[in-house]
Structure formats: C-alpha cells, structure tokens
C-alpha cells in the first residue's frame, strides 16, 4: 500500500478500500501531525480527543521548523479502524493542521522515547542497578552516594522493561517524554 498521507482536504479513502471498516478490533496507531505553531493549537488537538471521547496513550509536541512556525505533534492513540479513520479526518480539518501521517499504516517506522529514572539504594542493589543500566545502555546523568539518575532512550517497550527492573532496586521517580516517531526511508 502506498503511504497514507492525509493531506488537508484530500481524500485518501478509495472506493475500493478493502479493509473491513466495521471491525471491533482495537488497534494502536501512532500519528504524526504537522501544525502551525500558534497559540492554542495543542488545546485544539487535546480538546478534539477529550470532546469526542478518543484515547490518548502518549502525546509529544515541539517546534520543528522555527522559521516556518511549524510544530510536530506525535500522538499514540487506540481505537477500532473506523475510530482511527475518524480521528485522522477530525485532526485534518483543524485549520492550523497541515497534514496527518498515520505512521502505523504508512509502513515501517521508528519510535523513540526518552526517560529519566531516579534509583536510590546502596550496596548490592546499587551495584545491580548500575549493571542493568549498562545492559540497557542507560547513561548516568547524576549521581550521589545513595542514588543515580539514569537517562534511557528506546522504544516505549524497552523503557517499560527497564522501569520494571529498576522497581525492586529502589526506583523513586520517573519522567518520560512520550513517543517521538518517524517513518523509515525517504
């Protein structure tokens, strides 16, 4: 299938779309939304999700083109295929939205998230935390005699796994950025 790029106002729905639109399977999709970086744009996007009862699993936003005043919002959402289509169409009609990419359907994509974990402990546990951090390629960005702050990047699953391992070793605080994602290739 060709890339599913929802250009503003353009239909990428074909009359010959073979996908069963009425399936109740819940799917997880990662959407990349390019928006004008103007006041209230994030509120519009979030308001759309809350107002229409859609789910947000993760949301990140940052300016990606300073001169062009463009920001990129990455949203991980869940729903039936019909709901996902509706979410994309609803996003696309927000005036400051330029385009909506469904990275999950567009083909291979890469996802990354950054997390910081504070792990407090001494003795055996401290050593074990440090050893596991090495395996996960987490970097130590701060240390005291009783604690580390680890920085880890990876897929959300990798971060989940690291968090689970740190829990019995004195994990006391977590900060996660949410997912940033991009399609592979050109």
Partner 1 sequence: MTRQMSGAQMVVQALKDQGVDTVFGYPGGAMLPIYDEIFRQSDIRHILVRHEQGATHAAEGYARSTGKPGVVLVTSGPGATNAVTGLTDALMDSIPLIVLSGQVPTFMIGTDAFQEADTVGITRPCTKHNWLIKDTDKLAETIHFAFHVATSGRPGPVLIDIPKDVQFATGRYTPPKKVPRSHYQPQVKGDIDAITALVAAIEKAKKPVFYTGGGVINSGHGASQLLRELVAGTDFPITSTLMGLGAYPASGKNWLGMLGMHGTYEANLAMHDCDLMINVGARFDDRITGRLEDFSPKSKKAHIDIDASSINKVVHVEIPILGDVAHVLEDVLKIWKSRGRKTNTEALRGWWQQIDKWRAVNCLGFHNSDSVIKPQHAIQRLEALTRGMDRYVTTEVGQHQMWAAQFMGFEDPNRWMTSGGLGTMGYGLPASIGVQVAHPQSLVINVAGDASFLMNMQELGTAAQYDLPVKQFIMNNERLGMVRQWQQLLHGERYSHSWSEALPDFVKLADAFGGKGILCEHPDDLDDAINAMLAHDGPVILDCRVEKHENCFPMIPSGKPHNEMLLGDATTEGAIDTGGAVLV
Return d(Cα 96, Cα 60) in angstroms, integer. Answer: 17
Nearest to 40 by CA among 92, 100, 97, 84: 97
Shortest reach from residue 89's CB to partner 1, in Å: 4
With CB under 8 A as the contact rule, the residue among 60, 80, 86, 147 that binds partner 1 is 86
Candidate segments 10-18, 71-79, 107-115, 143-151, binder of partner 1 by CB under 8 A: 10-18
Of 21-40, binders to partner 1 (CB under 8 A) are: 21-22, 39-40
Residue with Cβ nearer partner 1 (99 or 128): 99
| Residue in the structure block whose two tokens are 């869940």 | 78
DSSP 128-159: HHHHHHHHTTPEEEEE-SSEEEEEEEE-HHHH
**Which C-beta is closer to partner 1: that of 6 or that of 115?**
6
Q: At what angle do helices 81-92 and 41-51 cross, to 10 degrees?
A: 150
CA angle at 44 for the pair 47 and 180, rounded to the nearest 5°:
95
Is 51 a binder of partner 1 (CB under 8 A)? yes
Q: Which residues are near partner 1 by CB under 8 A?
A: 6, 8-11, 13-15, 21-22, 39-40, 43-44, 47, 51, 82, 85-86, 89-90, 92-96, 98
């Amino acid at each position: 299938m060709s890339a599913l790029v929802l250009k503003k106002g353009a239909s990428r729905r074909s009359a010959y779309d073979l996908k069963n639109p009425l399936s109740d399977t819940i799917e997880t999709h990662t959407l990349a939304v390019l928006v004008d970086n103007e006041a209230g744009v994030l509120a519009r996007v979030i308001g759309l999700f809350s107002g229409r009862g859609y789910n947000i699993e993760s949301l990140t936003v940052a300016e990606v083109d300073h001169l062009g005043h463009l920001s990129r919002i990455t949203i991980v959402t869940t729903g039936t295929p019909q709901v996902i289509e509706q979410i994309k169409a609803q996003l696309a009609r927000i005036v400051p939205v330029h385009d909506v990419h469904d990275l999950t359907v567009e083909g291979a994509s890469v996802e990354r998230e950054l997390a910081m974990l504070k792990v407090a402990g001494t003795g055996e546990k401290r050593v074990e935390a440090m050893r596991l951090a090495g395996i996960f390629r987490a970097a130590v960005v701060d240390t005291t005699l009783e604690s580390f702050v680890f920085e880890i990047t990876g897929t959300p699953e990798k971060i989940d796994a690291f968090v689970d391992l740190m829990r019995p070793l004195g994990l006391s605080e977590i900060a996660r950025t949410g997912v940033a994602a991009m399609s592979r290739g050109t």
